[in-house]
Amino acid sequence: MKYLAILLLAGLGFQSCNRDGIAPGTPKCIEDKILEFETNKLCAEGAKVDLYTFQGEFVYAFEQGNCGADLTTEIVSEDCQTLGFLGGISGNTEINGESFENAIFQNNVWLD
């Protein structure tokens, strides 16, 4: 019985370490970036992180939300390298010379 209680408490401890709201299987560096993003986001609501396939790899779109007209969406590779920014004052739509319209949405990773 003592061991069962220890296992249950250990299980609860592991669950509390889970980064709530972040999709399972998300790379650790992206999880860390999401937690930083959540702290420093510009909009009070509507921010999100979506996973896409683009140019043969998985990329993450960090969208600030809709509280401003000229906010940018940062596009980040699986290994947390910034590939570029969409939107902004210039209305940029390309990453690495290709339209991001060619990206294929996979799923939402985090939602504010």
Q: What is the pLDDT of residues 72-96, one digit of tens each?
A: 999 999 999 999 999 999 999 999 9
Q: What is the average pLDDT across 104-110?
A: 97
43 or 11, which is more confident:
43
* Helical residues (DSSP H) of 1-112, grouped into ranges: 2-16, 28-40
State percent of the chain over pLDDT 70.
82
Residue 30 has pLDDT above 90, yes or no: yes
Domains in the chain: boundaries: 22-111
In angstroms, rounded to a whole number, what is the distance separating the alpha carbons of residues 112 and 109?
Answer: 10
Confidence of residue 20 (pLDDT cuts 50, 70, 90): low
For residue 57, the model assigns a pLDDT of 97
pTM score of the predicted model: 0.81
Rounded CA gap, 15 and 100, in Å? Answer: 36
Q: What is the mean pLDDT of the chain?
A: 86
Residue 12 confidence (pLDDT) above 80? no
Q: Which residue has the tokens 């790899």?
A: 57
